[in-house]
Every structure is written in C-alpha cells, then in structure tokens.
Structure 1
C-alpha cells in the first residue's frame, strides 16, 4: 500500500491579542490530524493512482471508526442510541428489492427504509438515519464495479419512501392505509380476566395513533379505580379520528384530460372515502362495546356496589360485618364471579360458533349478489338508453346526455349495496319502457343515496 499524500496545511498561531484567561479560550480543543483519502471509482485519475485508493465500503468503515474515536474523546460527534443499531443496514428480501418505482403507492415505504419494525412509531431521526444508510448502500455509483450501475430502480424506491415519510400529510395518508399493522385480537368475552389488560392494551395503543387528541389514556391495570376506567371508556366513545382514506383514491384513466372525467372520479373517490370512514367508525364502536362488556373491572365494580347496598340495608346493626364475615363475603363474591365468568365464556364460545356460521352464510350471499351486479347494471343501462326521457318527444337523445346519465348510474350503483342494486333493477323493470316511471325510479334512489351521502350530487337523477 502506497503512502498517503501529505497536504501542506499548517495552522497559524493565535494572535498576540488573544485573551487566554477568558472562558471562551478554555473551550478551544487542540488540533487533530486527519488522513483524507479519495474513495470510489469516480476518483480514479492519473494523479490519484499514485496514492492510496479505497473502496466505498472501506471508506465507510474508516469514517465509522473515526466517528467512534471522536465520540469517545467527547468532541461533540453525534452518538446514536441503541434504537439505531442496525437501522437501515439489514438485507432486503426479494419482494422489496423488486418494487416498481412507477407503482410507488403499492410499496411498503417502511420496509424500503428498513423501518418495518417501528412503522408509525418511527420519528424524524429514525427516518433520516435509515435513509442515509440506505442511500450509502444502494447509490448507483456504488454499483459501478458490479456492472449493474444502470439498475437504479430500488434507489428510486428509497427516494420515494423518504419523500412520502417526511411529508406530514402523505405519511398520514399512508399510515391510515398501512395493512402491515397487526390488528387482530380474540373475542373479548373469551379472554380470561388475568390476560385482559395484556391482550387489549396494545390494541387500544395501536388504535390511539389515529386520535386527534393526544395523549391517549391507557387501558390501565386490573387495580385501576372506577374513575380511571370510566374516563378511559368515555374517551373512546368520544373518539375523534384523523384517519383518512385518500391513499386508496383511484386516478383518472391515463391519457384523459377531460375535466368531467376528473370531477366524476373525484365524486366516486369521495363516496368511497365516506363509506370507508363509516365502516371504520362502526368497527371501532363495536370494539369498545365488546371490550367494555367483558372488562373484569366493571364486574368487580358491580359486585362492590351490591355489597355496599346490602351493607347500607343492614344498617350496621351488628356494628358492621366482622372480619370473618367480610372474608366469607369476599370469598363468596369471588366464587360467584368465577362461576359467572365460566358461564359467560361457555356462552361466548357458542355465540362465536353461531356467529361464524352466520357470517359465512352472509358472506356467500354477498358474493353471490356481487356477481349479479353487472347483470343488474346492464338491465338498468338498457332501460335508460331505450327510454327517451332525455329530450322532448320525437327528438333523439343526445349522446353526451345519455353518457352523463350512464356515468351517474355508475356512481349510483357504487353507492348502493348489492341487495339495493337488485331492488333498483326490479323497479326499473316494472317501469318497462315508460320513460316517466324509469326516471322516477332512478330519481327516488338518487335521493336515497344523497340522504346518506350529501356529497353525492346527481343531475340527471334529480
């Protein structure tokens, strides 16, 4: 290995007027000697070949050792905590490396940056450090010697992930649609009291990330007071979520510059977002209802209330229950609670089995109904195009007017459940070729949709 080139740089002496007694002078550290080497293939030049040449990996190791050296000397170099150990340095799996940067909405941005374990908990420092390390590992310049310099697809994915996660609004949209968050849990009624807090505390912690109001109260412990427990459920019954569903919005067909197409697609997106929001609110409300009903602390509170009422009725004739009587009453209450819990668990199992059968049957019915939607829609479309209620009598309907009506039909069908589409089809069939009755049926269903979803505006069906 050749000797490094020594650059003729010499620090000048301090001026004679420098006040060595000041506090500032005491903060100046002695100068350090550093070796600077060229790194990477782009630095290989005729003047450099005479001296030491390092690869990128060797250069990274040298800089890491130097940073550790400065940190150990207390020179103010940034020292990262244990949360950053290995962050962004793990090997990516084949699926992650094969992401198409053109379809960046389908990629897992956290996995691309190596933040798949932290996800929504990753802060700005985690994202910054992970991005820097990924860039150092996957920059196209580092692939020059491997013959794969032109393949920069994954590097583009890294940049898109960084762009998304450092933009507050886009990150919220992505977090709202993050399907990698584990949110499954057993039926609350089947969970034993001892495991109740351990099972559902993480569930509410995860759901709490969507709360506009922070901090979110914790589920507490089995010994939490009644005031604390009631405050927890009161918060969740008034839960105000910022969760949005724009991430799943559909774009206008490529190549279309029509403003009508864009407005129509935006209407459909708003309708779909409203539907998802309603379903999410119902899901969360059912979760809170089920957990409250199975909360062992609420059962304990009811038993304590009953004991207090019984003691009040007794009037303290015997000067209050004796210690032995208290112990006996407590033991009887515990035994009664165990019997009640066992009975509830058995009922929960039966109910769960019945619900499963009912859900399967309902699912099959919905799937069958969805298969028929296209057939129903075709019948309705045929009736629209053959019923000339668009123009005055004797005038052929305008193609643009018919097209507008068919577009509104798409929006109307997308807003209805499969069973409702079937009823709409039957109403149109009853009208036959009577234009007035066909239009009346469509207008009636358009009004029903607008009552549920005010932003769904109709022109032809109004």
Structure 2
C-alpha cells in the first residue's frame, strides 16, 4: 500500500514512502485469502505436524539480498524462507513458522542488524511464502524442485554388483511422488519372492501426484478476454501432459533398469528354472521307471509264455512219443495176432475144399487181416484150439468183409459214373464253340491278358459280340474252354483251327484262280502270280483310306469323351457308330496316331 503526502506552504517538498503490511492481522488476512485458516485457527491436514524450531531456520542474507522480485519464479523458495534442508518434507505449519520468523528478522522497517533487507528482497520472501503456504502451490513447486535428482541409473555390471547402494536411494527419493502413502522400498537379499513381486507390481503401477503447472509459460491472468484465457489454458494443459508423459517414462525406465539389475530376480529365475528342471527330470525319471516296469512286465510275460509254450511242446512231444510207443505196441500186438491167425489158417489149408481156390482164399485172408481189429483177431486166436469154432467165426468175418467190399465197390462205380456224366456235360457245353469262335477266343485271350478287371466276363462279352454262331457265352464256358485249349487236347484243337483256317484260305484262292483260268486261258503259274498280285494290290488299296475330315475328327473327339474306357469292349463300336463313315479299326488307328503325334511334340519341347 502506498500513501502520498502533499505538504503546501512552508513545508519541505513531498516524498514518497512505502509502507509494508506486517503483523498478525495481515498474516490472518493472507491465510484466509488462500483458505488456510478459519475463524478459529489452522485447517491443515490432521496428519501434518510441526517439525521446525527457530534454531533450524537458516537466514542466508547474502542470497536474499541478491534476489530480484521479477525473477521470483527461478528462486529457491525454501532457501528464501530459511528451510533449505526440509524442502518437500516441510509441512504448511513449518512454512508459516519460517515465514513469521523471516518477517521478524528481515522486515525493512522492523528488523535491525545484518538480517535487514530491502523492499525488493522482502517481496521475494512474500512470493516464496505465497507459493508454499498453499498445498497446491507447494506441490506445484515441489514437482519441479531444482534440487531433486531425476537421474535414471543404467543397466551396467557395476550397478548390478552395487544394486542396493545404487537403486535404494533412487527408489526412496522417488517414493515422495506417490499418491499412495504405503510405498514399498527396495528391501534386501533376504526378501521373499512375494515381497519382491508386490514391490514391482506397485512400482509398475506407480501413481504420481507430480505435476508441472509451475512451469506454465503462458499466464492466463494477463489474457484480455475469456477466449484468450481458454486458449492459454489449452496450451498450458498440452505442455503439462507432455511433461507428465516424460515423467512416467522416466519412472518406468527406473523400474525396468531396477528389475534388470535385481539379483533377487536372477536368483528367483534360476531357482524357478532349477525347480522346473527338477520337475522335468522327475517326470522323465517317472516315465523311465514306468517304461522300465512295462519292459520288465513284458519280458516276464514273454518268459512265462515261452515257458508255457516249451511246456506245451514238451507235453505234445511226450504225448506223441507215448502215442507212438502205444501205436508201435499195438502194431506189434496186431502183427503177432495176425501171424497167429495167418499160421492157423495156413495150417488148415485156408479152409478150402478145392485147391484151385487157395490163391483166392489167400488174397481174401490178407485183405481180411488188414481190415480186422485187434479185438477180433484176439477173439479168433482164442478159438484156435477148436477148428470148427475158429472156422465158423473166420467165415463169418470173411463174408461180412466181402459184403462191405462189394458195397464200397458199387458206391465207387456210382461216383465214377456221375463224374463221367458231369464231364460229358462239360464237354457238351464246350462243343458249342465253333472253329471261328475258338479263333475269336484265342484273340480275346491275347487282347485281355491276366490282370484285366473282370477278365472272363469281358472275354465272354467280346465273344458274344463278334461270334456269328452263338451269342450266349458266359464266363464259366470261357474258363472251361481255355482250360481245354491249354491241355494236350487243346493244343490239338489249336492246330486243327490253324489248319482249317489255312485250308479255307487255300480253297478260296484256288477257286479264284480257276475262275481266272476259265475266263482268259492264262497259265496256272501266271494266274497264281497275278492272283497273288491282285490280292496284295487289293489289300494295299484297302489300307489306303481317305484322310480324316474336320467333321470326322470332331465326331471322333466327341465319341472319346462320350464313351470312356469304363464302357468296356463296346467302346470302339459305339465310337464307330457315332462317326458313321469310319470303321472300328479306323477309329482305333486314328486314336493311336494322334497319341503318337502328341508324344512326339512333347519330346521336341
């Protein structure tokens, strides 16, 4: 506040004097202006406690006298108020107490001695107090405190070896920006993994109250209108956001570097890898043991199986040996019994009254002895003391055996007769093949070699299609006829077919020659030569065909598409019908020529 005194008359010239506000009333005015006090006292946060004594306030008179009011923003406000050591830790109560002390000691009008400063320096003290006595203002200045160390330690071997010495102070001084009060510190090597995880979870999700409104370059109070103030606010906001992002990037880099250098993380990772490896090895060992158990079980089962197999083979062998011995014993007994019967019958002259029947009786006896069982032989030998009883039983066995032989012979004759009739039926069914059909069959067998799908049915269809005699051949007839042709009789049939075909050809040529001789009187030799020449010429003329037209080629291609190979033997007949002007052989020959042309072109390429 400035007062001007105008003295007129004999008084001295007027002077201008500056009066500075001072006292408790002004202090209360300032506190009420910034909402720091009420009618009954302080309204600071309840957890703030006064930690400053007058002896702790250091008045740097030299520094204060060097200040200029216009540069108040670049000044160290804590140093101006005499509390350079507290800084961010200073509460609003500490700021008020320091301000009161500074006013008493440094006021231009009230103070005396070395601590007295001029009006401009005292203005800097007021500006520092106005900035720090408000919580928001104090936070704004603390956020850009020039004495705060913003260093980010790098990831180096030295920092890894001195991890707690390097990163402990960094974490501790940056913890002051946390909105949350319970900030975990770096800790030590003895920390558990849960604490370390909680530490990094907190710092990776760090919420900072640090802001940069103190560095606003544009002063909105100097704006002339509302629009200009809004524009200045927008510019200041953009700049604050940019600095805030840089701060968050710095904090994230600190945490990243701390994590990279943390020996506990390395130890935990190695321990986790070790446990994982141990678990893997344990799993592999369990699997190996399981496989070993399975292998031993299989070996045991294989051993038991082999023992059982050897035991079974041994039992079968012993059983076979026993059966063999028993059989040899029975054969020996049987031979002995047969010899007794044979000797007894021989001694009694085979029970024949007529010597002419002895040979027949001997044959019958041998046949009977081979057919009788050992019990029957024993029964006969038990009666060797009584010739009559032996003779009766012997004749009884003989008659029964002869009747059985006769019955068996009749059955064999019946079976042979049935077999002959069946063979006769088969030969009758094969007789329906004419010589021309046999020739066609031989050709079809060559066209459709073994391996052809449904070979015999295909050959039967081919035969039915080309035969002029019979159209009812089936696969069974074809198989039977081929077997006959492959036998000795079949070889004779093939020879007969060839001979008959040659005879037919010779006969036709002879008739033609006779006709020529009767008409012209040419010698038989010349006639034969001319006939052969005519025949060859006719054959050559037959082979010479007109070239394929575009229409015929188009019809051939349509036929190949319309009738694929799956149609069977009738494929080329259908294609020839579709073309119309060409035979089946012409179509097949044309197809082969086209295939060869295509292959030749591909070979050239």
- TM-score computed with the length of structure 2 as normaliser: 0.36
Structure 1 or 2: more helix by fraction = 2
Which one scores higher on RCO, CA 8 angstroms, separation ≥ 6?
1
- TM-score computed with the length of structure 1 as normaliser: 0.46
